[in-house]
A = this chain, B = another copy of it.
Amino acid sequence: MLEAAGVAVFALTGALVAARKGMDPFGFILLSTVTGVGGGTLRDLLLGRGVFWVQDPFDVILCALVALACWALAYRRPGMLDGWGGKRLLIWADAAGMALFAVIGTQKALAVGAPNPSAIAFGAITAAFGGIIRDILAGDRPMVLWSRDFYVTAAATGATVTAALAHFDVNPTVVMLGGIAAGFGLRAGSILFGWSFPSLPGSGPDKA
């Protein structure tokens, strides 16, 4: 259930990028699906588990439906998804998906007995890679690495809180809520209030 929510919001960010680029319906579907299931696919490959969507295609179908709904909307109401409102929706849906995947990735790694540092790396990497793959396929610089504000930081924090709470055998719902709150809260604060690390001296905000 939680995984499906994460998949759906990341699929939405893929469709929003496809709308901005003017892709065709199957371009929407490909970008939505790769973004939605990409992080979890990488996680399952690294853990040596069967990839979650191969035997149960529910999440792939979900991504395709999100993509088609967005394409129809972009076609009927031009500008709605790629204007300023679409950009804000993209940033917030991406933040929600990142927070969810950081928690789920950490939990799945702990469940197969990975030690804490690996589990935290897992949470951070799987939370970050859906968006990284999306941006690279779309020909953009990965938002994850280029935004000045907290992104990997937020994902790693959510993963760390998840691992810490799980260590103390807290109620699973609390573990989940705590991890999501930490990751999403840090990212939200960064988007709204500009929280960030001090810049490296001599590097402008947009140095290539």
Contact = CB atoms under 8 A, between A and B. Distances in A.
* Interface band, chain A: 35 or more
Contacts of A132: 137
Interface in A46-79: 46-48, 50-51, 53-57, 60-61, 71, 74-75, 78-79
A83 to B, nearest CB: 10
The number of times this chain is found in the oligomer is 3
A118 B152 contact: no
Interface of A: 19, 21-27, 29-31, 33-34, 41, 45-48, 50-51, 53-57, 60-61, 71, 74-75, 78-79, 82, 109, 113-118, 121-122, 124-125, 128, 132, 136-139, 141-142, 144-146, 148, 150-153, 156, 196-204, 207-208
A208 B55 contact: no
Contacts of A27: 145, 152
A57 B78 CA distance: 49
Given A137-B132, A202-B79, A31 B115 contact: no
Contacts of A121: 33, 53, 57, 60
A91 to B, nearest CB: 17
A166 to B, nearest CB: 16
Contact of A41 (B46, B146, B151): B46
Contact of A57 (B21, B46, B115, B124): B115
Nearest to A24: B197
Contacts of A156: 26, 29
Contacts of A33: 121, 125
B117 A61 contact: yes
A136 B139 CA distance: 9
Contacts of A79: 202
A60 B208 contact: no
